[in-house]
């Protein structure tokens, strides 16, 4: 089995953002020359996540609204007593989760029709890294 690892750095302009990263993942797969296996894509921060869904702007807005309903920004999180102000970002990241695994078949991401990979940022405006690890033959 072969392994190939890449890191991408993202710096969002806003505190919350949803970044389509499928092209970067496809590029890492191509560089790896792996034809059959899997790719792990992992946010390397506790206030960010990675998910697979449709690249449709209305759905992305719906996801953002839903997450804000489940974990709204507010001042009374216990976490804020530590001097931080991002308690909601930690909770949103737990809901999205920090990683996905995508199958690779015949040198391509083995997706359903509309599936794409997104990085979800909940405490942005600074550099954050994403790990892409390709594993297979």
| Backbone torsions φ then ψ of 50, nearest 5 degrees | -135, 135
Cα–Cα distance for residue pair 115/55, rounded to 1 Å: 8
Walk along the chain (137 residues) and give the pLDDT tens digit of each residue: 999 999 999 999 999 999 999 999 999 999 999 999 999 999 999 999 999 999 999 999 999 999 999 999 999 999 999 999 999 999 999 999 999 999 999 999 999 999 999 999 999 999 999 999 999 99
| Backbone torsions φ then ψ of 105, nearest 5 degrees | -135, 130
The secondary structure of the chain in percent helix, strand, coil, rounded to multiples of 5, reads 30, 40, 30
Question: Cβ of 6: how many Cβ atoms within 10 Å?
Answer: 16
Q: Structural domains in the chain? A: 2-75+84-136 (2.60.120.460)
Give the predicted TM-score (pTM) of the model: 0.96
Cα–Cα distance for residue pair 51/84, rounded to 1 Å: 25
H/E segment holding residue 55: none
């Amino acid at each position: 089995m072969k392994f190939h690892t890449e890191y991408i750095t993202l710096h969002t302009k806003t505190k919350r953002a949803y970044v389509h990263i499928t092209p970067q993942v496809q590029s890492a797969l191509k560089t790896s020359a792996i034809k059959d296996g899997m790719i792990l894509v992992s946010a390397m921060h506790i206030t960010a996540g990675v998910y697979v869904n449709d690249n449709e702007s209305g759905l992305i807005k719906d996801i953002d609204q839903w997450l804000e309903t489940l974990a709204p920004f507010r001042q009374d999180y216990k976490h804020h007593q530590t001097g931080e102000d991002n308690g909601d970002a930690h909770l949103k990241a737990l809901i999205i989760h920090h990683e996905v695994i995508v199958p690779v078949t015949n040198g391509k991401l083995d997706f359903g029709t509309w599936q794409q990979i997104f990085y979800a940022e909940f405490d942005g405006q600074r550099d954050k890294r994403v790990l892409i690890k390709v594993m297979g033959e």
